[in-house]
């Protein structure tokens, strides 16, 4: 569990029409190579997030979404501040649970849902 002050809104500046620029101060985690444990330091790093009020789209300079397809904590915090839901654009299909995938239709020899104990008991009647 993270302490509350790990990610804080440092300042927000309106730059141009309907685009607001936010700067989040994010405390830095370090990892001890010997114990392999991470700990929170007092150092801070600032991340700039631009939010377009008309399109409700955001862009963060950490580029986690561009790099790995996962929305970063800075953008999530921004949507939380505005009381908005994260747009579907930022939830890629490969991370969704409500999508039926082709490989789920492939029958596997060791798991046949039609042969559960309940179904087998009816088959034997």
Q: What is the 3-state secondary structure (H, E, C) of 27-85?
A: EEEEECCCCCCEEEEEEEEEEEEEEECCCCEEEECCCHHHHHCCCCHHHHHHHHHHCCC
Nearer to Zn ion, 95 or 119 (CB): 95
Q: Report, in Å, the least distance between residue 106 CB and Zn ion.
A: 37
Q: Report, in Å, the least distance between residue 37 CB and Zn ion.
A: 24
Nearer to Zn ion, 95 or 112 (CB): 95
User: Which one of 10-18, 61-69, 90-98, 102-110 is the stretch in contact with Zn ion (CB under 5 A)?
Assistant: 61-69
CA atoms within 13 A on the CB side of 74: 27
Q: Which of 6, 9, 19, 62 binds Zn ion (CB under 5 A)?
A: 62
Name residues contacting Zn ion, limited to 74-113 (CB under 5 A). 74
User: Which one of 8-16, 31-39, 51-59, 69-77 is the stretch in contact with Zn ion (CB under 5 A)?
Assistant: 69-77
25 phi and psi, to 5 degrees? -95, 120
How far apart CA 23 and CA 71 sit, in angstroms, is 17
Chain residues that interact with Zn ion, rule: CB under 5 A: 60, 62, 72, 74
């Amino acid at each position: 569990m993270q302490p509350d002050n790990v990610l804080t809104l440092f300042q927000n500046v309106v730059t141009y029409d309907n685009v607001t620029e936010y700067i989040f101060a994010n405390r830095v985690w370090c990892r001890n190579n010997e114990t392999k444990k991470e700990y929170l330091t007092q150092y801070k790093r600032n991340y700039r997030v631009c939010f377009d009020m008309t399109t409700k789209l955001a862009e963060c300079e950490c580029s986690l979404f561009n790099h790995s397809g996962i929305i970063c904590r800075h953008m999530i915090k921004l949507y939380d501040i505005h009381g908005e839901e994260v747009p579907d654009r930022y939830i890629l299909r490969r991370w969704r649970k409500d999508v039926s995938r082709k490989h789920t239709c492939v029958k596997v020899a060791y798991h046949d849902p039609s042969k559960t104990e309940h179904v087998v008991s009816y088959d034997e009647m």
